[in-house]
Every structure is written in C-alpha cells, then in structure tokens.
Amino acid sequence: MRSFMLFFFLTLSIVAQEFAIKHWPKGLSFGEYIEQYNIDASRFYAKVNPEDLKFLSLIEGGALYFEKANDGVLEELLIPLGEEMQMHVKKESNASEYSFDIIPIDYKVIKDTVSFEIENGCYTDLLKSINNPHLATYLKKIFSDYIDFSKLQKGDKVTIKYKQKSLKGMPWGEPEIEAAFIEHKKSEFFAVKEKEGYKVFINNQSPIKEQKKIIKKAQYISFGKPLPRLKVTSKFTYKRWHPILHRYRPHLGTDFRGKRGTPIYALASGKVIYAGWMRGYGKVVKIAHSNGFVSLYAHQSKIYVRGGERVKKGQKIGAVGNTGRSTGPHLHLSLYRYGKHKNPMKYINRKIKVGVIAKKVVIKTQKQAFSLTQKEKRVYNTLKKVSAKNTHSYKWKTLEQSEHITIKREKINANRVKLRSSKGAS
C-alpha cells in the first residue's frame, strides 16, 4: 500500500501546467487583482503569514508575472521577487480557498559565446543575432574609457563570452560578461573579468601608452544617509533564511538600528509618491527621485511629509519606529530603479553616474601597466579565433515569443521540500 501511494504522488508531481505571461497593470493593488476573480481579499490576507504581507505591497506596475486561469477562475499565480524567489498563490483542491508561499524561481544558467560583425550597431545587431540586446549595455560599461560605441563601424568585430540566467528561455536578471574581444579601427580591445571589475588590454598590451579619450559631461544623482548613524542589522539579499518562518525569504532592502524617534532623512531630492500605512511595513514614505530611482522608508513612528510634496536631499521626512511587522525600532530602507530592487548600501553616500549629456574636450590619459597571465592568454586566443564567425549556441526568446509557458509541477513540489528541510542562519 505504501509503495502504491508513493507511485501515485510521483505521477501527480509530473503534471505540467500552462501559464500565461503578463505584465502587472500600473496602479493595481494585489487585493484588487484577486477580487477580479471573486476572491475575498480580506479573507485571503488573514491566511497569509504577517511576515509575508509586506511582499504583496511591493508589486510594481510593469512587473512580470505568470498566471493560470480557467473559465474566470484563478488556478495559480507566480510573481517574481527579485531574481531568486517568487510569490506563489494556488487554489486548494476541491475548495475556494487559496494558499500563499514564497518559493525559489526555477531558472537555468546559460553559458554562451556570441560573435558577430557590426552591421547597424552593437545593440541592434545583438537583438538580431541572439535577442539579447541588453548585453550591449554591459559591454559598453566595460570599454567606455577606450571605445566610443556610437562610432563602431560596419565590419568591426565583436565577441562576447557571458553567462545569463534563463527563465523559460527569456533573459532573466543581469548578464555576467566573463570576457570580450572587439576589433575596431585596426586595433584589438580585450577585457577579462576579475573579482572586482575588468582588466582591459589594447593590442594585447595594457593601455600604458597615452590614449585619446573623449571627456563627456556626466549626469549624476547624489545619495546621502537616511540616518545620522548607520548600523546595519540585516543586509540586502534575494535569498535569506528566515529564523522564525524556517524557510527562505527575500530581504529586498537594508535594516538599520535606531532608537525610536531618531530622524529619518531623504536619500536624495524628489517627490513624495506615498505617505501612509502599508501592510507589513507600518508607516511608510516613498519618494520618487530622478533617473528612475524610488526610495522607501518603513516602520516609522511619525511621518513629517505628505503625498505630492517635494523634498530635498537630507530633509527630515519621518522618525524611526516600530510600526507594522517589526521586532523592534529600526528603519527598513528599500531602493528601486525602474522597478528593480537595488542594494541601498551601494548608493548611500555616493554620487552615481546616470547618463552622459554632452561632449567637452579631448585629453590624454595614462593607465597602470599589467600583462596577460597564461590563463588570460588562453581566453584571448579563444575569443580571437572565433571572432566574427557570426556564431552563437543560444538564441533567446522574447516575451512575444513566450506568450505561454509550461511549468512542470515537480519543480515547485521539490522546492517546497527543500524549503522545509533546509537549515541556515538568519
């Protein structure tokens, strides 16, 4: 009998489900979304662990989500939280009740080398070649001090060795360029990734010689401190073992220790787009800054600003408190850019370059010398060998090509088992 039941479970676990891929409508709350399917939002919220309620308030307009619905009945819903975890809503068997959980995203990591000749431009040619033009943005960051990408000519050669997370065949998250090779104006440019940043070589040598460099007028946004003193109690992470729930949860922000009443300051100038109560986060202020940045300040005891008000960098907007789901007075700070979560600690007390608005003068620069290691020479020779052979082993899908995806049930079941059996520290 026991063997039969095991076989029956495994049979159920391999049933595949078809999900529609959609973008979350701007301004739609999660409660409004489920009420479209005649689901009682208050009853649903009452069943969700209070620790998880805050995630339902973080859904941004335009966010990707996966939905399975039949005849006006919501069967299942997956909403990614960052690159690692996703919210999972599922209709319970033979009932009108729904379960809620946060589970790992079932992504793959694709390793590939793409090589092509410039025809129209790096961005356009990557779109045509592999449907992943976003790769051009990261390539430009590596070589921005040495190559003006707007002047890449027809016939120039580009080769990129990279890794990219794949979610049902679509690019997921940020690509990681391991090495790159460009032939431009009879010169060879080679870059290889180190632990921090990249080493760049010109004509197989470090750029010790004087190089002409176009200096451009850069556009910056300057971030300050949210508190007078910063003592981090919980770091930003896409996957943290929760000491109370005993399962993995994202922590899409940074927690700072602070006494109740300690003033909270705006990271940068901007417009208050929300000031009030938010599930799980208590009293919250959200500020929209320039260049797509939005900051969120949670668990406040007092709020000193109103929605629609303009604030300056360093202006007092509230006070540290313990409202919402909180074990003690502290500030939870979240930072987004164009709807994507960012680690606040990478921006606090820094000027971040957000664009280039004008060219100014031509000067000469000099860089520190270094030479290729044996390992780097092997990578260089490999990329040079495949340069401009117009080859790649993987072509990415676009959202239009993936209007529906199939998700195998055993993946989600396996992840649930892992969450319930894993051990870790907070």
Select from 302, 372, 296 the least CA-distant residue to 334. Answer: 296
Residue located via tokens 């004008």: 358
> Rounded to an integer, what distance in angstroms lies between the CA atom of residue 112 and that of residue 177?
10
User: CATH 3.10.450.350 region(s) of the chain?
Assistant: 2-105+401-421, 108-209+366-395
| 19 has pLDDT over 50 | yes
| 216 has pLDDT over 70 | no
Q: What is the mean pLDDT of the chain?
A: 82
> In this predicted structure, what is the pLDDT of residue 247?
73
Report, at the CATH architecture level, how domain 2-105+401-421 is classified. Roll (3.10)
pLDDT, average across residues 38-55: 87
φ, ψ of residue 14 in degrees (nearest 5): -105, 10
> In this predicted structure, what is the pLDDT of residue 406?
52
| 293 has pLDDT over 90 | yes
The strand pairing partners of 179, in sequence order, are: 161, 192
> Rounded to an integer, what distance in angstroms lies between the CA atom of residue 38 and that of residue 102?
23
| 244 has pLDDT over 80 | no
Cβ–Cβ under 8 Å, residues 159 and 180: yes
CA atoms within 13 A on the CB side of 29: 10
Cβ–Cβ under 8 Å, residues 27 and 61: yes
Select from 98, 153, 316, 308 the least CA-distant residue to 228. Answer: 316
305 or 211: which leads in pLDDT = 305
- Pair of tokens at residue 75: 């069967």
CATH class of 108-209+366-395: alpha beta
> Rounded to an integer, what distance in angstroms lies between the CA atom of residue 11 and that of residue 75?
20
> Rounded to an integer, what distance in angstroms lies between the CA atom of residue 348 and that of residue 351?
9
Report, at the CATH architecture level, how domain 232-352 is classified. Distorted Sandwich (2.70)
pLDDT (tens digit per residue) in 116-152: 999 999 999 999 999 999 899 999 999 988 899 999 9
pLDDT, average across residues 216-244: 83
72 or 426: which leads in pLDDT = 72
> In this predicted structure, what is the pLDDT of residue 405?
53
> Rounded to an integer, what distance in angstroms lies between the CA atom of residue 336 and that of residue 117?
36
User: CATH 2.70.70.10 region(s) of the chain?
Assistant: 232-352
> In this predicted structure, what is the pLDDT of residue 100?
93
pLDDT (tens digit per residue) in 344-396: 999 999 888 776 654 544 445 545 566 788 999 999 999 999 887 888 989 99
143 or 209: which leads in pLDDT = 143
> Rounded to an integer, what distance in angstroms lies between the CA atom of residue 172 and that of residue 174?
7
> Rounded to an integer, what distance in angstroms lies between the CA atom of residue 53 and that of residue 298?
13
Q: How confident is the model at residue 215 (pLDDT cuts 50, 70, 90)?
A: low
Burial class from Cβ neighbours inside 10 Å (0-12, 13-18, 19+) for residue 131 reads: middle
Q: How confident is the model at residue 242 (pLDDT cuts 50, 70, 90)?
A: low
